Structure 1
Amino acid sequence: MAGREGGLGEQLARTGVTEREAEVLAAVSERLRNREIAERLHVSVRTVESHIAALMRKLGVTDRAALAEIGVELRRGSVDGALPTPLTSLVGRTNELGELAELLGTHRLVTLLGPAGVGKTRLALHLTAHRAAQGPDGARLAELASAGPGLVGDTVARALGVVPQPGWSLRDILREVAGGMRCLLLLDNCEHVIAEAAEIVADLLTAGRLLRVIATSREPLGVPGEVTYQVRPLPTPAPQAAASAAVAGAFDAVRLFVERAGTVAPGFTLTDANAASVAALCQRLDGLPLAIELAASRVRSFEPADLVDHLDQRFELLSGGARTAPPRQQTLRGAIDWSYELLDDAERTVFDRLGVFPADFDYAAAEAVCRADGRGATSMIALLPSLVDKSLVSTMERATRRYRLLETIRLYAAERLTASGAEPATRRRHASHFLALAEQGAERLRTTDQRVWLDRLSTEQPNLRAALDHCIVTGDIECTWRWIAALERFWDTTGQRREAQAWIQRVLAMGHPPAARAAVAGVAAASAILQPSDSRAAFDLARRAAELAVGLDAKTRARAARAVGMGAIWVQADLVLPALNEALMLLGDDHPWETALTMQALAQASGDLAEALAWGRRSVALFRRVGDQMYAANALFIMAQRAMYAGIADDEVHAWLTESQALAAAAGSEGDRVHATVGFGQLAWLRGDRERASQLMAGCLPTLRRLGDQRCTGRALYILGERAYEQRRLADAERLLSASVAAIALAGQSFVLVRALESLASVYSAQGRWRPAAVILGTARTARESASAHMRPIQPPDEELRRSLVRVLGRAEFDAARAEGERLSPTQALRIASPDKLDEAAGSID
């Protein structure tokens, strides 16, 4: 997918679209008005109008709607896993690229091996970028350097466009996605998670015959069929061949030094006078690109001969280090040691503290976390560029300037930080800065800036993870619950509930949360995260939040009451409305977003349809007022669901779904967009257009599975199963309806669960499996009777089916089988009715 974003971006560049015009285009795609755009960009409305006119002229469109579509398409092209654009040229490696291209033509897994700093990543990225166009799905990058144990699968999933879901087998989902992809996947920096990376790669290659993988590591993955390629240091001239510039300059290591030196000291050239010194320098650095580039960054201060003299001292000093360490690590450490010693005290302090960042960072973070101590200290605005100039910090060209330390240098800085004794204080500042950012993000995700903040929080996720981990490790319970509250919306919107659950379990293991506002907010947020996959655990957490909230402020008690109301929907229905009404009363008129969320829950839970729709309309209006397009879209979808479950399929329902889809597109919410598509499929089914309904559900099912949306997956599978039954494709109908039951039983949704069970009983009867049909009818009867009245299907049970089963089985056997089913959960009933099909049904969900 490296090509899609770049292609549209290049088209914009060719038409002369400026950076500011691109910002206006992005805002137009979010359906912001001119005044809102002006406020966001801090310009006048007249300036915005001028930019819009220029964009229409340059892009050849005549109205704002067409302009917005271009912006939406540009945003859709921005995906996890895109290959970064290198800012410097790749020097040499012609033979390696040819050999690797040949290997990739005959092998599906090629692993690049070599020491840190030898250039594995750069070579792999170059190779991957040049082969991206050979498959319809392009090339993807899974950067594993910041992925801790247990997160390799999540990182690979994000690169492939898969959103992990708690409770589902991530490896099964990855296998399914890989089976339909024809792309080149680059897994970078595998060495610290080698076993987990090997298992995932083996799964992907087994499932996807057209998928190819390039990996970089310091050791082989050990996967069957793997071919390893040792990335060697750049060739260096022998002493006798370095007498002249013509001879020495033919070697790639020397060429790299000369090119990089020329960027920091314009006019630097290789001459007969300095050729021997440059060659000696490259030789002593073992031809390692990272070490050579670090040395080249100093040519403004030292002649090549002086560099050799300094480097000789450092290598001799470190040659007596740990003999068990690989020589290549000793040499690379020597190069970094030497560079470090050239820093002044203020630069060293900042460099050490930058080791706390697990990945890239922006200037504000560097200033907050690494600021120098004491009055008169050199400011960060001078120190950070100085470290960039000395090639210890790299810049990254994104929408905003970001910085990073190469992994080996970052590890070196982290060691220095520990040795300095400043690590605890630095980590506290890091955690404090990113907690404040996360809490700011949680607020901004409720506004028209939600798309911007989703992108920002995604960019900062490695730092967010490190900061949250620090709070857990140091035992700060209240702080960790602040983190859960701050990240809940981000995790949910980006489909990271699986990771969220892992964090919640770690926080719960710390002990009982305190009776404090932050803890209540965090426990309530945890309940919301768990609700789709473990309704009982979610309800228990909601009740704990309510206990902690006793005696606290009204807003905190309202959040806890709402958590109880939402958590009780599938567990203890009689508590739902009292808890939600209590929350509404406590909120009053001072908290419109919180009130809108409570009204949205009432739209789902209220028994009377007119009352439910009234709550929905009020919820949509409030969400619109505060600018939360995603939740407004969701409230409209809930309204459409309530109407369709009551058998209403009029134009107003269609209008709600249309508006929901438009809001979701403007906000960039893939989940809400696909929800609207599911709604259109249900609407077509109700209107009798069975073929259209089936097409819509089949089209959105892969996305639902990838996003981990169990509830809507169950809805889609149910309609597809019903269609298969109508067409007398009984085996397909059984598979699809069983999968629908399995998904809905896990997520909770009484209406679809009852209908899917009753339809499955009809399929069994048509197959001549009369006793399993009676068992399933009993389970459906229990599900129907235990559901709230408004969540039961309006169609009565199929009486003709019951009578036919009684005739075939006899009254006594039918009653016994149905009674058995009444005592079983849906999953248990599936296992008894068709034990050999249960695994197949689970596979259909995943």
Structure 2
Amino acid sequence: MAIPAALVRQIGNLPADLTSFVGRRRELAEIRRLLSVSRLVTLTGVGGVGKTRLALRAAAEQHRAFDAVWLVDLTALDDPALVAETVAATLGVQSEINPVDALARVLTGQRTLLVLDNCEHLRDACASFANRLLRGVPDLRILATSRQSLGIIGEHQMRVAPLALPEPGRPLTGRALELYDGVCLFVERASAVVPGFRLTPDTTADVVELCRRLDGIPLAIELAAVRLRALSVGTLVERLTDRYACLTSGSRTVAPRQRTLHALVDWSYQLLSPPERTLWSRMSVFPGHFDLEAVEDVCVCGDVEPEDVLDLIDALLDKSLLLREEHHGEVRYRMLETLREFGRLRLDGPDERRSLARRHRDHYLALLERAAGEWFGPAQAGWFARLRLEQAHLRGALEFCLHERGEADVGLLMAALLYETYWLPNAFYSEGRHWFDLLLKSAPEPTAVRAEALCADAQLAFMQGDTAVAELLVGEGLALAEKLGHAKGLALGSLVSGIAAHQHGDYARAAVLLEEAVAGHTAAGDGLAALVGLLTLAATAGSLGEEDRERRLFERSLALAESGGDSWIRSWVLTVVAVHAWQRGDAERATGLARESLVVGRDFDDRLALATTFEVLGWIFETGRRDASAARMLGVAEELCRAAGVSTQRVASYSQSHERCVIALRERMGERAFDRALRQGERLTLDDAVAEALGSRPDEAPGAEPDERLGEDRPGRGERAGPEPSPLTGREREIAELISQGFSNKEISSALVIAQRTTEGHVEHILTKLGFSSRTQIAAWVTARKAAGGHRRDHDDIPRRPRRAR
């Protein structure tokens, strides 16, 4: 997943309005006033009254007053223990220990508005979270929506009433009707369904009566407006009145508005065909947005045929009972919670609910197994983004395993898969431990899956510095794996123990354990785990003074990462090898490796990896006396660390090198110049930071004050900023450009209508002239020249860019 371009002043993630916002002027003004005097404002009201839409509108109108405005939708979250983790994940904050503390570190110093949507089912957890975060972040404001107030000190509650409607007996003139938001909303939505619809003397009374019958509830009004495709307003009122006659005689403890909304939803349900009703109720199993593949896999059986699913979904979309969304270019669907609850109640008893929940779990288990099978390879980036989209479903599947009798073992298997593909790459250590701990208690049987889960749980505990618990877990896991003769569990236990021993400086023990881990994972065909072990073993050999072995192991790590097609762990390999090359005095190779790491890893949301790479580049630039660039790289690293919720020293893992670099820069540049360059780095967007790291030399850093030039990075008076003229021929530059776009040699040959052997010869010439060893380095070089403006001169003799061959 790509990281947001701005590292500090981000608008956030507010969705764009898909329909017009009608009315609520007084409510918006009141929210604005309350947020000026209170740091927590909670909008309360019945379901369907429009709390979410009002909160989003208020947040959008005030975004200029804040550095960032973030929406956190808690609708799909069922576990109160994961409220803080969910907020942290939404903001892109990677927490190693305490997500609330990490959020506080990230948000301190920024004016932030946090919209917590749908808190009612997690009221206590949301109240505790909001209270702790508000105490730790002075400039934070929280706007919450809930059917009940959170009940903490300092909270201002604002009830969201139904939309205004004319009172009975009031004259219904056109001008007067414009004052009533309920009528305006119906007319607005009706005109979208029936072009040209407007109030007339013949329809006004019926429209007002309809809105009154619906008590001004926005969701009910919008659902009713859809029915104008088939019915007149008068018929709509008549049929709705008849429907209420039998549906409002239920429980007297339910509020009238809730009975009214239920009546409308039930009426909409009754108008559907039997297959549409069935699919609606079955789709209630999805706790978040979902895709077509999931519907076909989970909901198809009985009177819902596979070939009918798409048409049925289209029908539900047309009736506004299902929402269409796009995520990363992929179409997904979502059901409003009110409609989802209604559909769930229409399922045929607990047996059908249990069967659907199991099918839902099986679908996402199969998805995880596919992800794990393809994780160490070129499909990794796609899976990284996909699993983030499926977070609500993965949690829901784990909940089923946890609470359904006899399913905890399957839950442990899912957790073990999530550990490798989701929790580790995203630094979701707390969430991983949460699920492992619960499932390990629920599945005490001595199985191979349990042995692996114990070791994986131990690794997450080690990452958080919880050494005592981690050692107990890995000890139990290794003992069980040995008892069962489970080779994979033994290899994982050795890997976890070896990494921990290396981190604690017990290099002799680490070497033995890591050798066992590499051998075990290699034999099992687990390339990713073998690579992690090999990389750590190389670093361990260096710490033991075995420089020749260190060099050989690093080379093997690089070769394995390159051949596997992995991007995430490969970026870490490149950075670690760059550090050791720099420590051995090979600054040129260290620079190339670190830059390649940025190109490979920038599409992942691993800010820890990116921050480490920028930190290393800061050391390298300082060694080369590029002081201003070095300081800016440290500033970029510091800002990324802050966004990730960790300290610079923790990310760099080489505190002595960091301190030495800072001291040297302060001495040569002076305090004022160093601090100015550091601030410039903190203000760089990620794209600008990468461009500079890859070789661009901007004339002036973004955000610099007038006349605050960048020292040695500034071109001389009258000079044009940019790279030196390209050493490549026109044809070689053309091929280099295609390489940067991801073309293979075969595709380049087809696009340029030349022999593949000719293309291969050109690529070899490019590598030789530039002193590179990989195509990724060529891509990085092209990117850097583009950022510096050199690509225009490079391509003056290239008439057009060929299209990728089909």
Instruction: Please report the TM-score for the alignment, with normalisation by the length of structure 1.
Output: 0.70
Deviations 1:759-792 (CA, angstroms, capped at 9, x unpaired): xxxxxxxxxxxxxxxxxxxxxxxxxxxxxxxxxx
* Shift in CA distance, 574/374, structure 1 to aligned 2, threshold 3 Å: farther
Alignment match, 1:182: 111
Q: Which has the higher helix share?
A: 1
* Shift in CA distance, 419/515, structure 1 to aligned 2, threshold 3 Å: closer
Q: Aligned equivalents of 2:171 and 2:417: distance in 1?
A: 60
SS in 2 for 1:214: strand
Deviations 1:414-473 (CA, angstroms, capped at 9, x unpaired): 233374641000000111111222222334442333333222211110111111111121
Does residue 156 (structure 1) correspond to residue 87 (structure 2)? The answer is yes
SS in 2 for 1:358: coil
Alignment equivalent of 1:116, drawn from 19, 43, 47: 47
Instruction: Give the Å deviation of 1:647.
Output: 6.6
* Shift in CA distance, 444/709, structure 1 to aligned 2, threshold 3 Å: farther
Alignment match, 1:610: 548
* Shift in CA distance, 494/80, structure 1 to aligned 2, threshold 3 Å: farther
Q: Aligned equivalents of 2:592 and 2:183: distance in 1?
A: 67
Instruction: Give the Å deviation of 1:708.
Output: 5.0
Residue 63 of structure 2 aligns with an amino acid whose one-letter code is A
Q: Identify unmatched segments of 5+ residues in structure 2.
A: 668-806
Alignment equivalent of 1:678, drawn from 599, 615, 618: 615
Alignment match, 2:440: 508
Alignment match, 1:491: 423
Alignment equivalent of 2:531, drawn from 596, 605, 628: 596
Instruction: Give the Å deviation of 1:502.
Output: 0.7
SS in 2 for 1:379: helix
| Residue pair 2:452, 2:489 contacting (<8 A) in 1 also | yes
Deviations 1:123-143 (CA, angstroms, capped at 9, x unpaired): 1111211221233x2311122
SS in 1 for 2:62: helix
SS in 2 for 1:423: helix
| Residue pair 1:600, 1:616 contacting (<8 A) in 2 also | yes
Alignment match, 2:714: none
Alignment equivalent of 1:633, drawn from 551, 560, 571: 571
* Shift in CA distance, 171/580, structure 1 to aligned 2, threshold 3 Å: closer
Q: Aligned equivalents of 1:721 and 1:229: distance in 2?
A: 51
Residue 83 of structure 2 aligns with an amino acid whose one-letter code is V
Residue 613 of structure 2 aligns with an amino acid whose one-letter code is A
Instruction: Name the stretch that deviates more: 384-393 or 547-556.
Output: 547-556
Instruction: Give the Å deviation of 1:603.
Output: 1.5
Alignment equivalent of 1:227, drawn from 156, 167, 182: 156
Instruction: Name the stretch that deviates more: 141-150 or 579-588.
Output: 579-588
| Residue pair 1:603, 1:639 contacting (<8 A) in 2 also | no
Q: Aligned equivalents of 1:713 and 1:374: distance in 2?
A: 55
* Shift in CA distance, 298/514, structure 1 to aligned 2, threshold 3 Å: farther
* Shift in CA distance, 293/419, structure 1 to aligned 2, threshold 3 Å: farther
Alignment equivalent of 2:214, drawn from 282, 285, 302: 285
Residue 599 of structure 1 aligns with an amino acid whose one-letter code is L
Residue 534 of structure 2 aligns with an amino acid whose one-letter code is M
SS in 2 for 1:297: helix
Q: Aligned equivalents of 2:263 and 2:603: distance in 1?
A: 52
Aligned-residue sequence identity (percent) comes to: 33
Deviations 1:161-207 (CA, angstroms, capped at 9, x unpaired): 422223x4x33333333321113221211222223323333344444
Deviations 1:32-70 (CA, angstroms, capped at 9, x unpaired): xxxxxxxxxxxxxxxxxxxxxxxxxxxxxxxxxxxxxxx
Residue 435 of structure 2 aligns with an amino acid whose one-letter code is W
Q: Identify unmatched segments of 5+ residues in structure 1.
A: 1-29, 31-70, 729-846
Residue 515 of structure 1 aligns with an amino acid whose one-letter code is T
Alignment match, 1:384: 313
Instruction: Give the Å deviation of 1:317.
Output: 2.7
Does residue 340 (structure 1) correspond to residue 269 (structure 2)? The answer is yes
Residue 436 of structure 1 aligns with an amino acid whose one-letter code is A
* Shift in CA distance, 564/155, structure 1 to aligned 2, threshold 3 Å: closer
| Residue pair 2:164, 2:216 contacting (<8 A) in 1 also | yes
Q: Aligned equivalents of 2:663 and 2:198: distance in 1?
A: 78
Alignment equivalent of 2:382, drawn from 442, 446, 452: 452
Q: Aligned equivalents of 1:383 and 1:115: distance in 2?
A: 30
Correspondence 1:229-268 to 2 at 5 A: 229-241=158-170, 248=177, 251-268=180-197
Deviations 1:267-311 (CA, angstroms, capped at 9, x unpaired): 444332222222111101100000111111222232222222332
Q: Aligned equivalents of 1:86 and 1:444: distance in 2?
A: 37
Aligned length in residues: 654
Correspondence 1:465-614 to 2 at 5 A: 465-474=395-404, 475-488=406-419, 489-516=421-448, 518-533=449-464, 534-549=466-481, 558-569=491-502, 575-586=509-520, 587-588=522-523, 592-606=527-541, 607=544, 608-614=546-552
Q: Aligned equivalents of 2:110 and 2:9: distance in 1?
A: 18
Q: Aligned equivalents of 2:475 and 2:69: distance in 1?
A: 47
Deviations 1:338-358 (CA, angstroms, capped at 9, x unpaired): 222222322222111111111
Alignment match, 1:824: none
Q: Aligned equivalents of 1:77 and 1:706: distance in 2?
A: 8
Does residue 125 (structure 1) correspond to residue 63 (structure 2)? The answer is no
| Residue pair 1:108, 1:205 contacting (<8 A) in 2 also | yes
Deviations 1:581-604 (CA, angstroms, capped at 9, x unpaired): 334444259554443333223223
Alignment match, 1:438: 368
Deviations 1:500-530 (CA, angstroms, capped at 9, x unpaired): 11111111111335434x5555444333323
* Shift in CA distance, 72/273, structure 1 to aligned 2, threshold 3 Å: same
Alignment match, 2:740: none
Q: Aligned equivalents of 1:262 and 1:696: distance in 2?
A: 55
SS in 1 for 2:324: strand
| Residue pair 1:535, 1:570 contacting (<8 A) in 2 also | no
* Shift in CA distance, 652/73, structure 1 to aligned 2, threshold 3 Å: same
Q: Aligned equivalents of 1:473 and 1:467: distance in 2?
A: 10
* Shift in CA distance, 273/355, structure 1 to aligned 2, threshold 3 Å: same
Alignment match, 2:249: 320
* Shift in CA distance, 591/107, structure 1 to aligned 2, threshold 3 Å: closer
Correspondence 1:405-424 to 2 at 5 A: 405-417=335-347, 419=349, 421-424=351-354
Alignment match, 2:755: none
Residue 494 of structure 1 aligns with an amino acid whose one-letter code is N
| Residue pair 1:633, 1:672 contacting (<8 A) in 2 also | yes
* Shift in CA distance, 443/589, structure 1 to aligned 2, threshold 3 Å: closer
| Residue pair 1:675, 1:712 contacting (<8 A) in 2 also | no
Alignment match, 2:18: 87
Instruction: Please report the TM-score for the alignment, with normalisation by the length of structure 2.
Output: 0.73
Q: Aligned equivalents of 2:40 and 2:23: distance in 1?
A: 24
Instruction: Name the stretch that deviates more: 288-297 or 402-411.
Output: 402-411
Alignment match, 1:193: 122
| Residue pair 2:360, 2:397 contacting (<8 A) in 1 also | yes
* Shift in CA distance, 91/72, structure 1 to aligned 2, threshold 3 Å: closer
Q: Aligned equivalents of 1:80 and 1:381: distance in 2?
A: 36
Instruction: Name the stretch that deviates more: 104-113 or 390-399.
Output: 104-113
SS in 2 for 1:213: strand
Instruction: Give the Å deviation of 1:366.
Output: 1.7
Q: Aligned equivalents of 1:614 and 1:437: distance in 2?
A: 37
Q: Aligned equivalents of 2:578 and 2:81: distance in 1?
A: 39
Instruction: Give the Å deviation of 1:82.
Output: 0.4
Residue 366 of structure 1 aligns with an amino acid whose one-letter code is V
